[in-house]
A and B are shown apart, each in its own frame.
Chain A
Amino acid sequence: MLKYTFKRILGVIPVLMGVTFLVFTMLHLTPGDPARIILGEQASLESVQGLRDQMGLNDNFFLQFFRYCGNAVTGDLGRSYSTNRPVFSELLSAFPYTLQLATMSIAIALLLGIPFGIISSIRQYSLFDNIVTSLAMVGISIPVFWSGLLLILLFSVHLRILPPSGGSGFISMIMPAATLAAQSVAVITRMTRSSMLEIVRQDFVRTARSKGANERHVIVRHALPNALVPVITITGIQFGRLLGGAVLTEIVFSIPGVGRLLVSAIQMRDYPMVQGGVLFIAVAFCLVNLGVDLLYAYLDPRIKSQYK
């Protein structure tokens, strides 16, 4: 298991190198002079040229790339062009917001999605099932930047019970988390439902019934743990997606998380920030995926034995 974990971590390195190279190339193809952006439209041409030299922007592309990689290994992701603060500390200060948002939405998603999925599968084709599956589809289809706005309109503007912007604090995260969770609830409900439906047809569930276990015991003890294995996987994927992809929700609710930081960095051509941010998200993504795989092995002894 340890060996496997180690191997997986090693496997992440080339991916991260690739991500770095990809982003690096993209940024260099992007029109816009970072020196000019830093200094603003009023600064003189000489100042801009001087800054370009100072920042090493006039160097060879590959020189810049390898210099960056070298620094990144030591944990130095450079300094943001726009704030001159270390990119890493910028990311660290934004990350708690994103983390909180992501954990809250995943919590909501699991708390709603799993029970909905279970009930739906037990009462397949019932009214409840039909409503839940249709709603799940709506949840997947609804754009967060729309549902978020509607929630703000309802709960902040009309009812005045929740703050419209999600800065710090639990209360102000409720609405963004709910908005973001809609899709995850849907995904988890559907996954739980289909997984349950598949598992319930399995022989060992019939075995459990033949042992004289009651329906609840059969579901809770036998069907559910097996059905949840793929649900955990998809939850992990969702979580990874939320960590990096909560951009729109963060924008709608003015949450200063990683996603918004990154989008504004992209818009301001803050190269080190974009570079570091994407790398950060890629690392988080890879770690979450690794975590999911390990979790998978932890939950399913069959998988675990493959890794030995």
Chain B
Amino acid sequence: MSLLEINNLNIDYLTEEADVHALRGITLSLEKGDSIGLVGETGAGKTTTALSILGLLPPQQSAVRGGEIKWRGDDLLKKSSKDLEAVRGKEIAMIFQDPMTSLNPLIKVDEQVAEMIRLHDKKLSKKDSLRLALQQLLSVGIQAERCNEYPHQFSGGMKQRVVIAMALACSPNLLIADEPTTALDVTIQSQVLELMKTLIKENGTTLIMITHDLGIVSELCETIAIMYAGEILELATKDQLFDNPMHPYTHGLLASIPDVTVEKERLATLPGLPPEPTEDIKGCSFTPRCSRCIDRCRNERPVLSEEEKNHSLACFNPYRKS
């Protein structure tokens, strides 16, 4: 049994004008100890995927239009909110994008971590939980005397360390990190990444990493899923993907990464824009921007299927090596 299995997940956001198709049939499966990176442009559905796993999508403004999210075999979408709460934080924890806003400004940081611990161990006294929290904060490199401060007294990198400490406080089986470094300075980014790397290794935590930065993914993840317009277009191990990108979109993405070893006049860019998220797409969503588009692409939807071992693809006309 896989640890996490997402099958054909479809999610819409509801607005006054029309339904926005955020996810159009995502299928994904994770084994214990896996680390997967979800990569894609803004609006590709990465965060939606993450939030749907935790059941944190805004209830009135979103709707699951089909599919299932199985956690150790149980469909999370069918769980009662009480059961979901036991999973959140304890088994699946999440690190959010912006450390500036993801901490409660009125509560001291150690208490925010301690709260996480207490929520999943009701017998624990406040004092004990604070002690555990302190340890946790020390382990992410926060000085002991600063643990009793409020979030606004911390820098962005420090806050993200707090968030990481909090997410890992209950030793979750799965950690979802939603662009954990985007909001940080470049120097701080590497420190935080380094920290995450160490902690994940130590704990053997399964990881879903959301980012638009292939460089970050390559550092932390074994598997990479390329997302576009609410779909996964290509799913492969890191090495396979970088060596042999098959989907035209992946190709484009890789081409847009500056390579210091090769001198180029200009970086390649992908022409065009992603489709309107409210649009119902008949064929492949990448068609309008695709240089390898064939007739079939416009009328039939490619399904993610294993092209090679550990390398799945949703494309009728992929690049092939040789």
Contacts and interface: CB of A to CB of B under 8 A. Distances in A.
Direct contact, A vs B (beta carbon within 8 Å): yes
Interface of A: 124-125, 202-204, 206-215, 217, 221-222, 225-226, 229, 299-302, 305
Nearest to A206: B56
Given A203-B101, A214-B82, A305-B153, A225 B106 contact: yes
B115 A211 contact: yes
Contact of A211 (B82, B119, B153): B119
Nearest to B50: A210
A207 B103 contact: yes
Nearest to A229: B106
A222 B96 contact: no
Nearest to A226: B106
Contacts of B105: 204, 226, 300-302
Interface in B101-150: 101-107, 115-116, 119-120, 150
Contact of B106 (A124, A217, A299): A299
A212 B153 contact: no
Interface stretch (B65-73, B85-93, B190-198): B85-93
A221 B89 CA distance: 17
Contacts of B213: none
B79 to A, nearest CB: 12
Contact of B102 (A206, A212, A215, A221): A206
A212 B86 CA distance: 6
Per DSSP, chain A at the interface is helix
A90 B283 CA distance: 84
Contacts of A208: 104
**Nearest 8 pairs of A and B residues by beta carbon:** A212-B89, A212-B88, A203-B101, A211-B89, A301-B150, A203-B102, A204-B104, A210-B94
B103 to A, nearest CB: 6
B85 A214 contact: yes
Interface string B54-88: 10100010000000000000000000011001111
B99 to A, nearest CB: 9
A206 B96 contact: yes
A211 B116 contact: yes
Contacts of A206: 56, 96, 102
Contacts of B153: 305
B56 A209 contact: yes
A14 B56 CA distance: 53
Contact of B56 (A125, A210, A214, A299): A210
B222 interface: no
A211 B116 CA distance: 6
A210 B87 CA distance: 9
Contacts of A203: 96, 98, 101-102
Contacts of A209: 54, 56, 88
Contacts of A221: 115
Nearest to A205: B104
A202 B105 CA distance: 11
B165 interface: no
B153 to A, nearest CB: 7
B209 interface: no
Interface string B143-175: 000000010110000000001001000000000
A208 B81 CA distance: 14
B89 A210 contact: yes
Contacts of B88: 209-212
Given A204-B105, A210-B88, 9 more contacts: A125-B60, A203-B96, A204-B104, A206-B56, A209-B54, A212-B120, A214-B82, A215-B81, A225-B106
